């Protein structure tokens, strides 16, 4: 499986260097740690610092949304691996404006361990840190065990909600409240059509036959809930949306944000075909799409496939989703 790279073990550091070189008006690498990337202009006194992060390979997550109205800093891990505590702590100190810092990341064991260690180290330096885990992946655990669910593409909407609250001057407790509400109202289901390969191995992360797909497969290749023959786009969209609605029922006059997320090698043509079906289904239910997002937000290197995310909105969450942002990979007026 071909990749444009130099040495496999240098891909992450060279990616970060290239990112800073491409977007110096948005981001900078901290001299204290080359895996610590922060905004050049969003940190201000009295504002809650917003820190997200995780492994590389999910670009534009997570560095792509550093900027106004969104995220203040990102510690960067190796491919599909959590960042260690050191870069997390350096980012935390850099984005602290005196009002505390919120950590948000997907619910994975390595991330939980390392971010918790960084939070303890930050507390020793007088910085209050609160954490909100993203748990939007319906396929990863039953509803009765929702706290065990993984965080996938729905994190984009959760991060955006919290970033907006922080930008509006909310206190840390209020930013945490908004983030938790956003997470509670967000569900995602994905489908994989083809694997990716990690640079260090060059081998497929899983195996699917040319005529197969897998519902619910995780963004690191974690097993899904159903494998079978490839179906039409409408059938796949229905299968994903049915599982979401079964987990988070929608009723007429509900308002939602919808995100169709490509996993790395799925064309925009395919993504819009998927969105077309989702929009039609929601319209038939009497559900209003308040805002839609189609594109690559949380990828898995060059994996083929996509996910559908639904966030159920109230007036507050709608305001957060509508909040303007200016970042390298996503701009909203």
Active site residue ranges: 58, 220
In angstroms, the first-to-last Cα distance of the chain is 39
Question: Is the previous residue joined to 58 through a cis bond, with omega within 30 degrees of 0?
Answer: no
Nearest to 99 by CA among 42, 179, 162, 169: 169
Cα-based angle 26, 31, 35 (whole degrees, multiple of 5): 70
What angle separates helix 155-167 from helix 315-322, to the nearest 10 degrees?
90
Q: How many residues does the chain have?
A: 333
User: 3-state SS of the chain: helix, strand, coil percent to 5?
Assistant: 35, 25, 35
Q: Which residues pair with 128 in a beta bridge?
A: none
Q: Which two tokens stand for residue 99?
A: 């009002």
Cα-based angle 147, 153, 154 (whole degrees, multiple of 5): 60
Exposed, middle or buried by CB within 10 Å (0-12, 13-18, 19+), for 205?
buried
Q: Sign of dihedral through CA atoms 316, 321, 327, 331?
A: negative
Q: Which residue has tokens 């059938």?
A: 235
Pairwise CA distance, residues 55 & 62, whole Å: 9
Q: Using CA atoms of 185, 173, 127, 85 in order, give the dihedral in degrees to the nearest 10.
A: -10
Q: Which residues are CB-neighbours of 267 under 8 A, at least 6 positions away?
A: none
Strand pairing report for 255-262 and 54-56: unpaired
């Amino acid at each position: 499986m071909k990749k444009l790279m130099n040495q496999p073990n240098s891909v992450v550091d060279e990616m970060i260097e290239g990112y800073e070189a491409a977007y110096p008006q948005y981001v900078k690498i901290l001299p204290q740690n080359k895996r610590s990337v922060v905004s050049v202009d969003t940190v201000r006194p009295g504002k809650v610092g917003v820190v997200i992060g995780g492994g590389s390979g999910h670009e534009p997550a997570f560095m792509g949304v550093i900027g106004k109205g969104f995220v203040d800093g990102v510690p960067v891990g190796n491919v599909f691996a959590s960042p260690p505590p050191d870069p997390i702590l350096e980012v935390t100190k850099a984005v602290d404006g005196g009002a505390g810092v919120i950590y948000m990341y997907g619910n994975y064991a390595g991330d939980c361990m390392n971010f918790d260690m960084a939070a303890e180290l930050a507390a020793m330096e007088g910085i209050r840190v609160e954490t909100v885990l993203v748990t939007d992946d319906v396929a990863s655990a039953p509803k009765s065990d929702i706290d065990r669910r993984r965080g996938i593409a729905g994190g984009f909407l959760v991060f955006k909600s919290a970033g907006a609250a922080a930008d509006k001057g909310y206190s840390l407790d209020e930013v945490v409240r908004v983030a938790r509400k956003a997470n509670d109202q967000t569900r995602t289901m994905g489908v994989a059509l083809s694997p990716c390969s990690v640079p260090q191995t060059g081998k497929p992360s899983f195996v699917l036959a040319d005529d197969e797909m897998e519902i619910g497969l995780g963004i690191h290749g974690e097993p899904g809930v159903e494998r079978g023959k490839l179906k039409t786009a409408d059938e796949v969209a229905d299968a994903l949306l049915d599982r979401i609605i079964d987990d988070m029922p929608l009723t007429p006059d509900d308002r939602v944000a919808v995100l169709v997320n490509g996993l790395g090698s799925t064309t925009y043509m395919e993504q819009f075909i998927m969105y077309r079906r989702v929009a039609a289904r929601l319209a038939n239910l009497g559900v209003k799409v308040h805002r839609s997002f189609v594109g690559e937000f949380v990828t898995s290197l060059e994996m083929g496939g996509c996910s559908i995310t639904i966030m159920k909105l109230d007036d507050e969450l709608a305001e957060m989703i509508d909040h303007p942002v200016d970042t390298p990979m996503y701009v909203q007026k």
